[in-house]
A and B are shown apart, each in its own frame.
Chain A
Amino acid sequence: DQQVKQNSPSLSVQEGRISILNCDYTNSMFDYFLWYKKYPAEGPTFLISISSIKDKNEDGRFTVFLNKSAKHLSLHIVPSQPGDSAVYFCAAITGNTPLVFGKGTRLSVIA
């Protein structure tokens, strides 16, 4: 049973435009959500997070939105840059349990 779902395996966006990556979850106990970014041949690196008590968190070009009633979160990247091309993983956690990851979305930013 996939508790964290990223239904779009890939996404292509033109440089300078907005990238929107989506994530849905099923476990209402999750209270913290994270996005990790992964380049080929490297391990994932933490990008941005949001607590369940908030509905938005912003860090430079990256903004994460959380809609608890819909059990949905999204990552917005504005403006998108070629260096943003990577696989993005949505993850969720509650308490001291391990991070639960989605399957990832491959973002390609085209110059």
Chain B
Amino acid sequence: KAGVTQTPRYLIKTRGQQVTLSCSPISGHRSVSWYQQTPGQGLQFLFEYFSETQRNKGNFPGRFSGRQFSNSRSEMNVSTLELGDSALYLCASSPKQGAGEKLFFGSGTQLSVL
């Protein structure tokens, strides 16, 4: 069974631009969560989607948005990029909503904002 796939693996953008990251969950998984990892800050929850609906949202500005498609694939978008948005963005899928130990993470997208 293929794992969680995130594309692209690396991304370099400049301030003010926007970016879209993609996540393909494990087949059969309907929940997709997004986390931001920055040095010294751990993993901070962005949002969770289940059956194309946003079920939970973290404490991030409205520049961060996401969506989930009918095939459970998910995208997250960051508009008007700031230097502080440089981070590793991790996507995780699970069979059901809020399933802690059943979260399977992808390898992440490393975003650098210059």
Contacts and interface: CB of A to CB of B under 8 A. Distances in A.
Interface string B3-46: 01000000000000000000000000000010100001111110
A43 B4 contact: yes
Q: Chain B, interface size: which category?
A: 20 to 34
B45 to A, nearest CB: 4
Contacts of A42: 107
Nearest to A44: B105
Contact of A91 (B40, B55, B100): B100
Given A98-B33, A98-B58, A44 B100 contact: no
Interface in A15-48: 32, 34, 41-46
Contacts of B98: 93, 95-98
A49 to B, nearest CB: 5
A31 to B, nearest CB: 10
Interface of A: 6, 9, 32, 34, 41-46, 49, 89, 91, 93, 95-104
10 contacts: A43-B106, A46-B101, A46-B102, A95-B98, A96-B55, A98-B48, A98-B98, A99-B33, A101-B42, A102-B42
